[in-house]
Structure 1
Amino acid sequence: MKTKTIKIIYWVSTALVSLMMTFSAYSYLTNETIKQAFHHLGFPDYFRVELAIAKILGAVLLLLPIKGQWKEWAYAGFAFTFVSAFIAHTASGDPINNRVGPVVFLIVLLLSYFSYHKAKVESN
């Protein structure tokens, strides 16, 4: 695959994940329905705020051109978030449409992760 195509795949998938995480973080902090959903899932209120802050930081880390392990930590944190969301919704007996979103975004995250590493290898 061409380097240009890989970079396009990386930026589109990374932008999608970052936008979704930023939007969900905003919703966590401002939407009363989301607050009730966290209670439905059995999470304390402080976890909602903590997760919103982590999502904003992770989205920024994915978009910034930084070196080192920070991006890896953001990818890992988002992967844990998506897997945990799927498990929480499944354990709470939520309908399938509540479980599909985290799986879809995990796939988009993996696309971002692998295209990021592929572009890194090809640019060296």
Structure 2
Amino acid sequence: MKKRHKITYWFFTLWLSLGMVSTGIIQIIHLDEEVDKIKELGYPPYFLTIIGIWKLLGVAAVLLPKFPLVKEWAYAGFFFLMTGAIFSHLAIGDKSSTYFGPALLLVLTIVSWYYRPAARKISSYKR
């Protein structure tokens, strides 16, 4: 792997991790603004706890070595969470500024996944 790819991977992965951990903690502690927004989106407040825990577990999976299949699931989960957030905001006609956070995390997820080292990928095998 080229040094540039490795730097790109770690830059985007650490930025993604910071974003997921910070928003995950805010969701777990049920910050008032988050509870109000989740209700406005039509979801129950307990959904925040589920999403927050998923984010923290996903960050652990992405950062810890080995377990490439679990990493794939974590990236897929991040992708589904962020696209779900974007479409949820679209569904209620939120202003465009509310899409920035989920869109940024979605881009970080895609770039981190794309540049991940071979050791963090599911290797194909020959029969």
Q: TM-score, structure 1 length as denominator?
A: 0.89
Match of 1:112, SS state, is helix
Q: Which residue of 2 is the match for residue 108 of structure 1?
A: 108
Match of 2:47, SS state, is helix
CA distance in 2, matches of 1:107, 1:68: 20
Q: Provide structure 2 residue ranges, at least 5 long, that are not aligned to the other structure.
A: none
| 1:5 Cα deviation after fit | 0.9
- Report which of the two has the higher share of helix: 1
| Equivalent AA in structure 1 for residue 32 of structure 2 | E
Q: TM-score, structure 2 length as denominator?
A: 0.87
Coordinate RMSD, CA, aligned: 1.6
Percent identical residues:
33
On the 8 A contact 2:82/2:106 being kept in 1, the answer is yes
Count of aligned pairs: 119
On the 8 A contact 2:82/2:102 being kept in 1, the answer is yes
CA distance in 1, matches of 2:102, 2:33: 18
Q: Provide structure 1 residue ranges, at least 5 long, that are not aligned to the other structure.
A: none
Cα displacement string for residues 42-95 of structure 1 (whole angstroms, at most 9, x for unaligned residues): 101221111111010001111111233000000000000110000001111110
Match of 2:68, SS state, is coil
